[in-house]
C-alpha cells in the first residue's frame, strides 16, 4: 500500500511539473517546430514592433528557437513605411531585416500593394499615369532597398471580393485590372531573384478561388513572373473542411506556383452571423454568447484545437512538395489580433502558445507529427 501511495505521489508530481511547464523550462536540446519541419517547409511567425525591437527576451528566445521564417505584422504596410510620397521610414524595417539575419531566418516582406492601411497620398492619384508612377516608385524603392536580404514579398494583398471579382480599390479605379500585372512586373524588375506572391483570405472559398486562379493565369499569360499564392489561414476550429483546404492547394498548385500558408490562426470563438475571413473593416458588438471563454479555455476545447491543428498539418505534410512556408499570425494568444476581431474585447485562443508563452496541447501535437508523415 505504501509503495502504491508513493507511486501515486510521483505520478501526481510529474503531472504538476508538466502542467506548469513553460517555454523557458523546455530543454534547449528538445525538438522545436523549425527542427521538426526543417526538411518539409519553413515554419514562420508574424512579429510586431516590440518583437522587432527585441524588447522582450522571452519572446525573442521563443521566436528564434521555434521559427525559421518571419513576416512583419504591420510595419511594412505603406501607411507606416511610406507615409508621404517623398518620405520613407525604414528604421523599423531595417531592424526587422536585421532580426531575421541575426537568427538566420527566411525573411518575408508584407505587403507592397494593399487597399487597407494605405498611405493617404496614394488616394490623391486621380489618373492611371499618376498612379502607375507612384506604384512603380513605391515597389522598386522598397525592393531595391532590401535586395538580396528579403527573400519573398506579398506583392499584392487582398485584391479580390468574395465572389471572385476584383475589389474596387483606388488602384483598380485608376488603372484598371492591369495594375495587378504591372505590380508583379515592377517587383520582378527590381529583384529577379525574389519569390513574388499574391496573398488573400478565404482562398478556399470556391468563387474566390476561381477568381484568384483567373487572375494568376492572366498575369502569367502576360509573361510576368508570379511565383506563389499566399492562402491566409484565418480559419475556424470547425471550418473550412480538410477536404476543401486540400482541393484549394491542388487547384493552386496546378497553376505551377508555390503555396504559402500565411497568417495561420484557428479561432475557437463563435462567428457573428457566420462571418468568415479577415475583412478588417467589419466590427460587431460584444456579448457573453460571443465571448464564452473570457478567463480560460476549457480542456475539451484545448483538445479540439490540438486535433484541428493536427489534422491541418497532416494535410500540409501530405502536400509538402507544393508548400513553401507555413506562417502563424503571431506567437501567442496574448498577441493575436483575434482578441479584437471581429468583436473588440473578446478573449481568443488561436495560436500554439498561451498568454504566458506556455506551449499548448496544439504545440505538442505538431512536434512529433513529421516523423510519421
Q: Which of 144, 263, 279, 356 is catalytic?
A: 263
Question: How many H helices and E strands in the chain?
Answer: 13, 8
Pairing of strands 152-157, 195-200: parallel
Q: What angle do CA 206, 210, 213 make, to 5 degrees?
A: 135
Query: Cell digits for 69?
Result: 521564417
Peptide bond into 111 cis (omega under 30): yes
Cβ neighbors of 258 (< 8 A, separation 6 or more) are 195, 197, 227, 228, 229, 322, 323, 324
Nearest of 342, 361, 343, 341 to residue 351 by alpha carbon: 361
Active site residue 158: yes
* Environment class of 298 (CB within 10 Å of its CB; exposed 0-12, middle 13-18, buried 19+): exposed
Exactly one of 101, 144, 158, 162 is catalytic; which is it?
Answer: 158
User: In the chain, which ranges are E strands?
Assistant: 42-47, 69-72, 106-114, 152-157, 195-200, 228-236, 258-267, 323-328
Instruction: Note if 53 is an active site residue.
Output: no
- Per the CB < 8 A criterion, the answer to whether 214 and 169 are in contact is no
- Report CA torsion sign: 22, 16, 265, 364: positive
Of 226, 197, 235, residue with least CA distance to 315: 235
Q: Say how many C-beta atoms besides its own lie within 10 A of residue 173's C-beta.
A: 15
Please, which residues have CB within 8 angstroms of residue 342's CB and are 6 or more apart in sequence? 271, 272, 275, 282, 283, 284
Q: Are 367 and 33 contacting, i.e. CB atoms less than 8 angstroms apart? A: yes
Which residues are part of the catalytic machinery? 158, 263
Amino acid at each position: 500500500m505504501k509503495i502504491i501511495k508513493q507511486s501515486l505521489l510521483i505520478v501526481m508530481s510529474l503531472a504538476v511539473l508538466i502542467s506548469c511547464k513553460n517555454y523557458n523550462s523546455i530543454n534547449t536540446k528538445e525538438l522545436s517546430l523549425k527542427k521538426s519541419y526543417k526538411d518539409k517547409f519553413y515554419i514562420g511567425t508574424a512579429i510586431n514592433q516590440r518583437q522587432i525591437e527585441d524588447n522582450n527576451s522571452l519572446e525573442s528566445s521563443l521566436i528564434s528557437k521555434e521559427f525559421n521564417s518571419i513576416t512583419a505584422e504591420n510595419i511594412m504596410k505603406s501607411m507606416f513605411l511610406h507615409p508621404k510620397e517623398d518620405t520613407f521610414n525604414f528604421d523599423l524595417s531595417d531592424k526587422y531585416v536585421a532580426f531575421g539575419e541575426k537568427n538566420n531566418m527566411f525573411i518575408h516582406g508584407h505587403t507592397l500593394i494593399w487597399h487597407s492601411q494605405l498611405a493617404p497620398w496614394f488616394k490623391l492619384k486621380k489618373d492611371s499615369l499618376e498612379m502607375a508612377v507612384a506604384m512603380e516608385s513605391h515597389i522598386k524603392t522598397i525592393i531595391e532597398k532590401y535586395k538580396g536580404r528579403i527573400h519573398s514579398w506579398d506583392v499584392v494583398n487582398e485584391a479580390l471580393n468574395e465572389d471572385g471579382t476584383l475589389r474596387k480599390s483606388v488602384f483598380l479605379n485608376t488603372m484598371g485590372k492591369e495594375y495587378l500585372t504591372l505590380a508583379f512586373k515592377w517587383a520582378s524588375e527590381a529583384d529577379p531573384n525574389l519569390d513574388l506572391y499574391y496573398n488573400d483570405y478565404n482562398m478556399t472559398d470556391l468563387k474566390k478561388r476561381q477568381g484568384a486562379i483567373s487572375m494568376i493565369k492572366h498575369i502569367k499569360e502576360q509573361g510576368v513572373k508570379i511565383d506563389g499564392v499566399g492562402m491566409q489561414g484565418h480559419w475556424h476550429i470547425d471550418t473550412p473542411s480538410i477536404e476543401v483546404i486540400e482541393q484549394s492547394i491542388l487547384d493552386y498548385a496546378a497553376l505551377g506556383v508555390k503555396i504559402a500558408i500565411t497568417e495561420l490562426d484557428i479561432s475557437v470563438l463563435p462567428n457573428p452571423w457566420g462571418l468568415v475571413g479577415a475583412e478588417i473593416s467589419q466590427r460587431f458588438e460584444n456579448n457573453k454568447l460571443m465571448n464564452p471563454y473570457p478567463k480560460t479555455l476549457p480542456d475539451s476545447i484545448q483538445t479540439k484545437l490540438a486535433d484541428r491543428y493536427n489534422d491541418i498539418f497532416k494535410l500540409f505534410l501530405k502536400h509538402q512538395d507544393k508548400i513553401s512556408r507555413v506562417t502563424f499570425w503571431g506567437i501567442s494568444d496574448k498577441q493575436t489580433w483575434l482578441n479584437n476581431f471581429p468583436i473588440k474585447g473578446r478573449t481568443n485562443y488561436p495560436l500554439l502558445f498561451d498568454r504566458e508563452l506556455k506551449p499548448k496541447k496544439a504545440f505538442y501535437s505538431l512536434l512529433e507529427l513529421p516523423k510519421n508523415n
